[in-house]
A and B are shown apart, each in its own frame.
Chain A
């Protein structure tokens, strides 16, 4: 058994001239909850489609649960649970009909798990899928995916478009299921709150490339927010080491920087700062700063 649930090697996929995946080499270890974060167009959806064998790569290779993505059998696919934001289930079918279909389809069906997860929701067996709320559809989808006893569960923005209550219910149902005792969870989301609550490991993709992978805490420690009072000319952005974000607010210069130790303060003083202060940042600010690197505001 492979130690990695997902392995990609120099994986590329282009659509016309656009590169959705750019020589991506990613290895996701077995177990725990891994969050994948990236701006829109970072290549997450393409990555999943290639991983699950729905789309061939332009170059490179990918393996999922130790097997080449392009050679997955139905038996292998059955070991992968997938929940996406659309919650696409046939609207004309009743909840019990969909469930009966899935129950027949997956040999490792776990009825107790299905009932347990769905216990978080008020879904009646005879209700048509189209009559369920978005939150209930998400819950039903999660129950179906977990009941197939997957080794790998991919949740692709599962709470997108859900209200606060439904979001929380989804997280509770997921955590309460003890899913991580049986499978590896990949959780894609833009919701930093959810990532903070769930993720053991944070994977950041940008323009089809792997930009970072570590625990969320270790990631936050790479980034720090500095404020300096520079009475004369502030340094050019290009000269500021590790700069992610720069802003002039009132008379003070704010810098969010990456991988800079305490000597960044000495740098600012050398640039004429009368005083400098620094503070750690939240995960939300850290990820935003990291992804905003190429959107630096104009010099004041």
Chain B
């Protein structure tokens, strides 16, 4: 029997992101940071809908997107499980997203007027901390 993991997320109404998108973002983050363990089972569609007081179709839509992107895998008759991480994007798309993220980061940081070395050191600390959490 696979172990079921609680999905500790909450959604907000009135957000510019639709609820299904909020679920997708939250699950991605939890898988990426290792908070959700590969191989563990997720709440059922109905279960998560009940937990969040939302329409089950919204959960189904989010789960379908996460499955299509390879974050979750469906085992017929058993349910949905956290997939073993693998590279989900084409090299080109991956490169493009990294570029976007760096541009956004630079825009935010430039006005703060820190020396580049300080910013890089802080960024390095954060990324290393993430890697530790993931391997823990």
A contact residues vs B (CB 8 Å cutoff): 32-33, 168, 171-172, 175-176, 178, 180, 192-193, 196-200, 216-217, 220, 279-284
Contact = CB atoms under 8 A, between A and B. Distances in A.
Given A197-B19, A217-B18, A220-B18, A171 B13 contact: no
A200 B57 contact: yes
B16 interface: yes
Contacts of B16: 220, 279-282
Contact of B19 (A168, A175, A196): A196
Interface size, B (range): 10 to 19
B10 to A, nearest CB: 13
A159 to B, nearest CB: 13
A166 to B, nearest CB: 13
Q: Which of A196, A216, A282 is most buried by chain B, counting CB atoms within 10 A of its CB?
A: A196
Given A175-B49, A176-B50, A193-B13, A198 B55 contact: yes
A168 B53 contact: yes
Q: Is the interface of A mostly helix, strand, loop or mixed?
A: helix
Contact of A192 (B14, B18, B50, B53): B14
Interface string B38-80: 0000000010011001111100000000000000000000000
Contact of A198 (B14, B18, B46, B54): B54
B53 A197 contact: yes
Nearest to B16: A280
Contacts of A199: 55
Contact of A172 (B19, B53, B55, B57): B53
Interface string B78-120: 0000000000000000000000000000000000000000000
Interface string B7-30: 000000111101110000000000
